[in-house]
Amino acid sequence: MERVLLTGGAGFIGSHLAERLLRGGLDVVVVDNLDPYYDVRLKRKNLMAVEDAARADGSGDYTYVDGDVTDLEGLRAIAQKHRPDIIYHEAAQAGVRASVEDPFKPNRVNVEGTLNVLVVARDTGVKRLVNASSSSVYGTVEYLPFDEHHPTKPVSPYGVSKLAAEQYCRVFCEIYGLPTISLRYFTVYGPRMRPDLAVPRFTKRLLAGQAPVIFGDGEQTRDYTYIADIVEANVALLDPQLELEGQSINVGSSSRISINQLLDVLLGLTDTEVEAVYQARAVGDARDTWAAIDEAERLIGYTPSTTLEQGLGRFLEWFRGDPEAQELTL
């Protein structure tokens, strides 16, 4: 049975991926330092969901380790003890706006941390490494939708850090023969998502009858991708027949919607009528994102199956049923 080491497993995407892998019968070692970028109570709730998955019939073995990707020797000790076959690297310092305020932390976590994970993977004979990247690597738009040949010109320190991490993954594949791939996620949403993002923030205010705040004119567009589709893209990479050659591929919904349109959908789902408040556009935010997913379809058979209305409906059902998540949303 394959053993997976999953960094950042207490986070939004990482915890959903851990659940899916455990229910698929794989042994999973989650490494996370519970960084308080947002309220740690939410991360602990994520880990509780992972623990529940581990208790289900047919699930693999689950181990949680308090560890930090910026600690090379600590990572090395974890890998030597658990001997993973595959590493899913989800740990990161997220947040475009946070990176503008403090560019050093995303560099330390996303660049140096990824380098540490790669070194450990190389030295312990890991079969493959899947790196979580971001559409933020594209930045300035030259054409839409973004395909993998689109120039990468990030507009935030966060985007720069994710691009650098991708390049390290490519180089480790080319120089050391470590099979790697980077998945460029496009605006992932769903239950347990980060509390500082538009969907939970809008929803919280709508349910309270308050005006949501939109930064900019609201005509900026995003490719919203439901969490289950992101998870299945990762799971597809368990196939040992796939040849991973350091490439980077888009994982999105292949459609886009403006922030104003997103709010309209949420207004309909919550049956509310509230006018938005508009504030100055945030520095570092990309104007548009939109994924071309032909390469993901060709390489891993990726086909997103969740519409925005379906995904937002599932998010809303979860959000309404979790008062603590509502309270801790910013």
Token pair 């930064």 is at which residue?
215
Picking from 147, 307, 304, the residue whose alpha carbon sits closest to that of residue 232 is 304
Query: Which tokens hold the place of 311?
Result: 């995904």
Question: Tokens 């650098």 belong to which residue?
Answer: 164
Quote the tokens at residue 14: 């990482």
Residues 221 and 255: their CA atoms lie apart, in Å, by: 10
Q: How many CB atoms lie within 10 A of CB 80?
A: 11
d(C-alpha 221, C-alpha 94), whole Å:
20
Exposed / middle / buried, residue 249 (Cβ in 10 Å: 0-12, 13-18, 19+): buried
Q: How far is CA 190 from CA 46, 234, 286, in A?
A: 13, 16, 21
Q: Is there a catalytic annotation at residue 158?
A: yes
> Which residues have C-beta within 8 Å of that of residue 157, sequence separation ≥ 6?
99, 100, 103, 106, 107, 284
Helical ranges in 11-156 per DSSP H: 12-23, 40-54, 72-82, 96-101, 104-106, 113-123
Annotated catalytic residue, options 88, 138, 158, 302: 158
232 within 8 A of 302, measured Cβ to Cβ: yes
Q: Output the CA torsion 213→216→219→222 (10° steps).
A: -80
**Dist CA 247 CA 184 (whole Å):** 10
Give the catalytic positions in this structure: 158
